[in-house]
Amino acid sequence: MKSIVRLFFILMTVMTHAKDPHSFAQPQHAVVTHLSWKAKVDLNTHTIHAQATWDLFIHQSVGYVVLDTRDLQIVQVTVDGQLSSWETGKNDPVLGAYLRIPIGPSAKKISIEYNTAPDAAALLWVEKPSVFLFTQSQAILARTWIPCQDSPGVRFTYDAQVEVPAGFLALMSAENPQQKSTDGVYRFNQPLPISSYLLALAVGDLKFKPISDRAGVYATADMIEASVFEFADLENMISSAEALYGEYRWKRYDLLILPGAFPFGGMENPMLTFVTPTVVCGDRSLVSLIAHELAHSWSGNLVTNATWDDFWLNEGFTVYFEFRIMEALYGKEVAEMLASLAIQDLYETMESLDADDTKLKLNLTGRDPDDGMNDVAYNKGYWFLRSIEEYIGRERMDHNIKRYFDQYAFKKMTTEQFVEILKSEWLDPGAYKAINPESWIYQPLVPSQAYPIVSSKIQAVDQYIQDTNEGKQELAALPWMSWTYQERYRFLSKVSWSEQRMNQMDQLFQVSKEKNSEIQFIWLMSSIRCDNRSQADFCTSFLGSVGRRKFILPLYRTMVQQGGWWAELAHSNFEQFQNQYHNVTKNSVEMLWQK
Ligand code: BES
Ligand code: ZN
């Protein structure tokens, strides 16, 4: 009897339609199933002229189908080849406007011809050092370049034909060409169903080099060799991931190295992860970022958060999987250092957040989803899963996760549904009570039963930090040269710096010459905080060459908070560089002056 009741509840959660607060679409009535996209990219006017043809499946005929758009100029609409009227809603600055197209009960295809706006939020048109276009669709920016049902819970397959000027290569989150065509026309196919936030396009003067039969790197000529060196372990990562949680289902796994303006570290676009050039630092010290994006091929791209309120399901699982790949390839110590630093970041992030934003399950209704997406989903999500692992044991954990990816592949997942899975499949009542998933998910901060994560290497660094702060440790006697990047990062982020101590550190170990961008970032943060103006030029050149929001936003924020001279420098730098930044970064930084 009890199991019948449980089955009923599971069915209810699967069937009831969790409305996505960030999409106007009504997929419960008419849902898109396939996209045929025909586009011409104009690198001069910064616009795309395109035709999006969607196959429909009608669940319940209500007389129309609804898509999301933002800043699109609609030219014409057809339904099954016949010209049709259409209606657009009032524009919301975050959500854009709905596009409502009247359809009969047996409509099969709708086709929308349109132009994108030169300032379309997903797109960044780069001029220097070479002409480049890339998109960033997550979370809700796909609608600024393709009219779509822009909700992660809606999946579709796609094909595309894209025309670019001769001499450029076009790439998408799909089966990709490896060479330039003579006429600038490229054809793409994505045979597996994906969500709209995984739609991606890049255009540039690109080269391809293979790393294995199914993996390789795309980059501009100046970056290609260094990238092949940096990511030499790519194939090993894929096979380690498969050994953990089952077959890689997307055929190829390629990387695209983007211009410095790319606003993220990485973006898990299916078959073609987009990567910031700041991880190509020459010593392979930041490859965990690739492990992360690769892991999304299961957590996120196969099993997908139903709405952005469930974002932790994508990122928390991915961080857990990332660290497992890192452990498999580079050992437990490395993985545990990463975990320990993740916890450090989490605590620092939580300090500046409203309590509600430190819950795993978010409520982003009425907000830009971008505002609520922070370390909590990643690192508290990781910690929750890690605590489950420690309680039930690794063998059961891995069995559960593998099953989860298989059973829910190409489906959406809500937090509530995952709680049901925990209850009915992963945890017996005793374990459920001890772990208390509800406290992790629906309560702020970190529950007291969290498994204590300890890295002996990081602990050793902490001792050096304490001794340095107390004046008992000579900087010159630090084992800096034998430290990994993780140990160096910990030291730099935790020591109490003075201008004098920084200068001494730099003389001893040339910290300001480090190629690792995480190190550069934390060094600059300390420089600003202790008014070390000798690093101001370095700071300006960093802000002028990197667009990754994770670095750029805290740097500007700290400069503004510092006030006076630094605030002025922040202002003049932003004036100079803002047009180089992607919208995602630019808008976040702009807010600093609006508060
Ligand atoms: N999918 C995210 C990037 C993202 C998140 C874009 C939310 C837009 C909205 C990607 O997988 C990611 O998490 N990237 C991280 C790197 C990672 C190693 C934590 C980043 O960009 O810093
Ligand atoms: Zn991620």
| pLDDT tens digits along 25-47 | 999 999 999 999 999 999 999 99
Average pLDDT over residues 474-492: 98
Active site residue 378: yes
Write out 333-383 in H/E/C secondary structure: HHHHHHHHHHHHHHHHHHHCCCHHHHCCCCCCCCCCHHHHCCHHHHHHHHH
Per the prediction, the chain carries an average pLDDT of: 96
pTM: 0.96
Instruction: Name which residue sits closest to atom 6 of ligand 1, judged by CA.
Output: 138
Q: What's residue 372's pLDDT? A: 85
The answer to whether the CB of 341 is under 6 A from ligand 1 is: no
224 half-sphere exposure, CB direction, 13 A CA radius: 13
Contact between 581 and 547 under an 8 Å Cβ cutoff? The reply is yes
In a mutational test of the pocket of ligand 1, which residue from 258, 264, 318 has the highest number of ligand atoms less than 8 Å from its CB? Answer: 264
For helices 564-577 and 536-545, angle between their N-to-C axes, nearest 10 degrees: 30
Backbone angles phi, psi at 118, to 5 degrees: -60, -25
266 lines ligand 1 (CB under 6 A): yes
pLDDT of amino acid 371: 87
CA 479, 480, 483, 486 torsion: positive or negative?
positive
State yes or no: pLDDT of 510 exceeds 70.
Answer: yes
- Rounded Cα distance between 314 and 306, Å, is 10
Tens digit of each residue's pLDDT (9 = 90 or more) over 398-452: 999 999 999 999 999 999 999 999 999 999 999 999 999 999 999 999 999 999 9
Asked if the model's pLDDT at residue 15 lies above 90, the reply is no
Mean pLDDT to the nearest integer, 458-468: 98
Q: What percentage of the chain reaches a pLDDT higher than 90?
A: 96
The verdict on the CB of residue 139 being under 6 Å from ligand 1 is: yes
Q: Is residue 342 over pLDDT 90?
A: yes
Q: Does 293 participate in catalysis according to the annotation? A: yes
Q: Is the pLDDT of residue 511 over 60?
A: yes
Match 């709905």 to its residue by tokens.
98
Atom of ligand 1 nearest to the CA of 300: 1
To test the pocket of ligand 1, the residue of 135, 141, 267 to mutate (highest count of ligand atoms within 8 Å of its CB) is 267
Residue 340 CB partners (closer than 8 Å, separation 6+):
453, 454, 455, 458
Q: Is the pLDDT of residue 319 over 70?
A: yes
What's the whole-number mean pLDDT along residues 561-588? 97
User: Residue 82 phi/psi, 5° resolution?
Assistant: -100, 135
CA of 309 to the centre of ligand 1 (A): 16
Ligand with minimal distance to 288 CA? 1
What is the mean predicted confidence (pLDDT) over 394-400? 98
Kindly state if the Cβ of 293 falls inside 6 Å of ligand 1. yes
Cα(267)–Cα(271) distance, rounded to whole angstroms?
11
Report the distance separating Cα 178 and Cα 272, nearest Å. Answer: 12
Q: What angle do CA 257, 259, 260 make, to 5 degrees?
A: 110
Options 98, 197, 245, 378, the catalytic residue? 378
**The Cα angle at residue 192 between residues 191 and 195, in degrees rounded to 5:** 120
Q: Is the pLDDT of residue 377 over 90?
A: yes
Ligand 1 atom with least separation from CA of 197: 8
Span from the CA of 314 to the centroid of ligand 2 (angstroms) = 7
Kindly state the average pLDDT of the residues 213-237. Answer: 98
- Find out whether the beta carbon of 493 lies less than 6 Å from any atom of ligand 1: no
